[in-house]
């Protein structure tokens, strides 16, 4: 009897344990190294994955691969990268290779809303390519003032800044900052003199809205404006409830995370129209880098652990894992430890490489996650 009683107690104890959080299911693994044709005039690279971007129709994934030093240089701006575009559900390992002739960084790959064009932002402006051909966009004759790509505000128009050199005088003098709206030929169709000490930090092409970082001198605010009318949808009543906004649910929602610091807030998501909080993630603070499902309610958050030093500058940070948080259900849909990669740093040996998590991005629907490391792309399904 004692034996059966003991087994019953153990069974009840196991049943009362919280269910383990699901992990990701590997859908496909692609060897990008086999698709890349190395160019002359650059040094070998670890082919670290620098940027990932799902197309809005969820049919394609664009990948920025490699930080090839140019011979005789060690400066961070003297890199060159590859860009590969693969079909999400294509069984054969084949891709579209694009030669951007520039270094590709996180956020450099930007899809047009119709998914028929990929824009690549580089050191000397941005270039546009037709998909699936991979050829330069045939009608692209950009205005010389266009330099830094911000994103697309609708299916036919994008937004950009002028070059850094052109923006510096305005920044120094406190003058308004010119934000250019351009069409798919590269012709400027509108100029917005945005307030000084501001920056466009997020764009949603479904609702045609932008989030603008406003430096108040004491803290940052991120008001949300419609475009092109520039009516204020949310100013958050002079109190910013989150950091670094990213739009979700086709512009109905804005979520915010932050870099880990001593005073980092928890990630949270808010209704754009009402200004009310939908949910706050209590698992860990900060959460950056993050990736949101633009048409869904799932967001990837990065978990970092801090070890405090004597001063804030001495604090140490170590990445732990990543989670997928569904802010509508307010639950973790999956968690996993990403694969690490070796990345060129732009510094001289022996500090010329660092080990880090590869980037992870979630698809517009929230069903898939793409993760890349050293020439390998992994596509996962979220439970």
Q: Tens digit of pLDDT for each residue in 264-280?
A: 889 999 999 999 999 99
Percent of the chain with pLDDT over 90: 51
Which of 9-18, 96-105, 146-155, 326-335 is predicted least confidently? Answer: 9-18
CA–centroid distance for 380 within its chain: 17
Over residues 199-213, the mean pLDDT reads 93
Mean pLDDT across the chain, nearest whole number? Answer: 85
Average pLDDT over residues 54-66: 95
> Of 151, 37, 46, 25, which is closest to residue 84 (Cα–Cα)?
37
The C-alpha atoms of residue 99 and residue 266 are separated, in whole angstroms, by 40
What is the enclosing helix (H) or strand (E) of 207?
none
What local confidence, expressed as pLDDT, does residue 75 receive?
54
- pLDDT > 70 in the chain, percent: 87
pLDDT of 12 reads 38
Three-state secondary structure call for residue 352: coil
What distances in angstroms separate CA 53 from CA 15, 39, 76, 167, 316, one per listed residue? 41, 23, 23, 27, 30
Bridge partners of 209, per DSSP, are 204, 226
Least confident interval from 62-66, 67-71, 159-163, 285-289: 67-71
pLDDT, position 102 = 82
Q: What is the pLDDT of residues 18-43, one digit of tens each?
A: 456 788 999 999 999 989 888 877 77
Looking at per-residue confidence, does 370 or 310 come out higher? Answer: 370
Please give the model's pTM, rounded to 2 decimal places.
Answer: 0.87
pLDDT at 375 over 70: yes
Q: Tokens 């639950």, residue?
A: 331
Q: What are the start-end ranges of the H helices in the chain?
A: 2-16, 164-173
| In the chain, where the domains are located | 20-106+289-383
pLDDT band at residue 314, thresholds of 50, 70 and 90?
Answer: low
If pLDDT is split at 50, 70 and 90, which confidence band does 217 have? low
* pLDDT confidence of residue 181: 96
**CA separation for the pair 302, 378 (Å, rounded):** 18
What is the rounded CA–CA span in Å between residue 200 and residue 194? 9
DSSP at 146: -
């Amino acid at each position: 009897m004692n034996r059966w009683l003991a087994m019953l107690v153990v069974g009840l104890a196991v049943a009362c344990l919280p269910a383990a959080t699901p992990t990701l299911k590997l859908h496909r693994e692609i060897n990008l190294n086999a698709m890349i044709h190395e160019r002359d005039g650059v040094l070998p690279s670890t082919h670290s994955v620098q940027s990932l971007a799902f197309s809005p129709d969820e049919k394609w994934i664009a990948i920025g691969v490699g930080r090839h030093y140019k011979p005789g240089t060690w400066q961070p701006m003297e890199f060159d990268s590859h860009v590969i575009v693969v079909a999400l559900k294509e069984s054969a390992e084949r891709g579209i290779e694009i030669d951007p002739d520039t270094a590709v960084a996180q956020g450099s790959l930007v899809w047009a809303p119709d998914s028929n064009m990929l824009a690549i932002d580089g050191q000397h402006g941005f270039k546009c390519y037709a998909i699936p051909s991979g050829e330069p966009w045939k009608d692209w004759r950009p205005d010389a003032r266009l330099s830094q790509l911000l994103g697309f505000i609708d299916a036919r128009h994008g937004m950009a800044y002028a070059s850094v050199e052109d923006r510096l005088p305005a920044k120094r003098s406190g003058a308004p900052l010119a934000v250019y709206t351009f069409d798919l030929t590269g012709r400027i169709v509108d100029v917005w003199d945005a307030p000084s000490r501001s920056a466009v930090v997020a764009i949603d092409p479904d609702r045609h809205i932008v989030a603008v970082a406003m430096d108040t001198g004491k803290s940052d605010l991120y008001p949300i404006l419609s475009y092109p009318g520039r009516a204020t949808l949310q100013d958050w009543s002079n109190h910013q409830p989150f950091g670094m906004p990213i739009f979700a649910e086709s512009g109905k929602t804005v979520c915010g995370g932050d870099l880990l610091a001593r005073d980092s807030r928890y990630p949270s998501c808010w209704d754009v129209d009402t200004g009310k909080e939908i949910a706050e993630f209590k698992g860990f603070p900060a959460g950056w880098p993050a990736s949101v499902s633009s048409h869904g309610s799932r967001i990837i958050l990065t978990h970092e652990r801090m070890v405090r030093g004597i001063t804030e500058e001495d604090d140490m940070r170590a990445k732990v894992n990543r989670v997928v948080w569904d802010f509508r259900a307010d639950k973790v849909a999956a968690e996993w430890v990403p694969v690490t990669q070796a990345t060129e740093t732009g510094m001289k040996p022996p500090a010329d490489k660092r080990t880090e998590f590869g980037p992870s991005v979630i698809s517009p629907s929230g069903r898939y996650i793409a993760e890349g490391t050293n020439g390998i792309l992994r596509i996962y399904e979220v439970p």
